[in-house]
Amino acid sequence: MTRRVVVVGAGIIGVATAIWLRRSGADVTLVDRAAPGSGTSHGNAGVLASLAMLPVTAPGLLRKAPFMLASADFPLFLRWMYLPKLAPWLLKYLRVANDVDTRRIARGLAPIVSDSVDQHKALAVELGLGHWITDSDYVHAYPDRRAFEAERYTWDIRRAAGFDPQLIEGRAVHDYEPALGDGIGFLAVAKDHGFIKDPAGYVTDLAQAFLGMGGRIARHEVKDFDMPGGKIARVLTDQGALDCDDLVLATGVWSGPLMAKLGLKVPLETERGYHIVYKDAQGGPSRPVMIAAGKFVATPMTQGVRCAGIVEFGGLKAGPSKAPFALLRRQAARAFPQLRAESQIEWMGHRPAPSDSLPLIGQIGDSRVFTAFGHHHIGLTGGPKTGRLIAGMITGQSANIDLGVYDPQRFGKPT
């Protein structure tokens, strides 16, 4: 029997899931209230960051956080009026800021991200969309060797996962990347990475390819679910019901309210992220560069140079803050003193952050409802692999990794 699957969420994870399901022969409807690729997937840094298995909650975060928030030059912001609502999630989040949990989380994230470039090519090349993917180094830039050594803990975990960087120092730094300013004197270069030239355009084209494969896209808003006997039967939207045998929730931070309708309370918050596109820029980097001091990535894209990063806690409803944009501009000016642009485009979006920094990938009991969200900063990086795993679960293909760490019921069973 051909399985009828509704995939809710038309970002990179939802679209990738829909494509892999169509390749397996499923009858797939992709549902979102907005156009494909117009949400969080639109605004990321574009890097296929295969080494990005480290959570934000590294050891020492609890001790350092007050100083980070007090510094005008550190990319961590908090809307203090939001703190009472944030506090229960934040306490859980800080509880895993230790060595044991950091290594456990890194082991969980590595299978999702470590082969990112290959997974994106497997998704896109057959569809004629390989031109969006650029093979490149992924550069981490530091003022000096001492600053690099201060992150030895992070790099040791990456090395253990197979990512041993090439180290470049002194004058060779500017021979390698001339756009960098004199304040950068040391580089850790990760080979065999890549980036997407325009994440929104990429996801849009993938969605069009999905339509060409016989899939359907519905611009509906999901309101509820019909689950007779505890199994999904219909998705209830603002424009009527959609019958299905299986349901995939790939709705990022907006998955929280939908999970509540299923009786599951997930500790999920938004890490608000910011970017500035220096349109038609000159004097920018030739490949993605993470500026360690500012914790932002500068990526050459179709529109220009995108500088993306920042973590701000402030909820879903508040508009963008001014301070994160000001910090991005200061940090970009220091790192790339020759960067010039005809204009600038500002953007703020929402990263879905479970309190334990691991995505929710799997089936909720025997309900035929599958989750594919909660990827923090690695949604683009891990999107194709996540979609492939979910499609395999639905169509009965076994995975060669332990999926238990992503169990969507790990925070409690439905009530």
pTM value is 0.96
Q: Is 90 exposed, middle or buried (0-12, 13-18, 19+ CB in 10 A)?
A: middle
What is the CATH architecture of 55-97+134-194+269-354? 2-Layer Sandwich (3.30)
* pLDDT > 90: percent of the chain: 93
> What's the half-sphere exposure (Cβ side, CA atoms, 13 Å) at 296?
32
pLDDT of res. 37: 94
pLDDT (0 to 100) of residue 67? 82
**Domain boundaries of the chain, sorted by first residue:** 55-97+134-194+269-354
Predicted local confidence at residue 1, as pLDDT: 65
199 touches 44 (CB < 8 A): yes
- Which amino acid is residue 316, in one-letter code? L
Measured CA to CA, the distance from residue 322 to residue 327 in angstroms comes to: 9
CB atoms within 10 A of CB 172: 12
Orientation of helix 83-95 relative to helix 61-70, angle to 10°: 140
The pLDDT assigned to 74 comes to 87
- Residue numbers of the chain with a pLDDT score lower than 70: 1
pLDDT of residue 228: 97
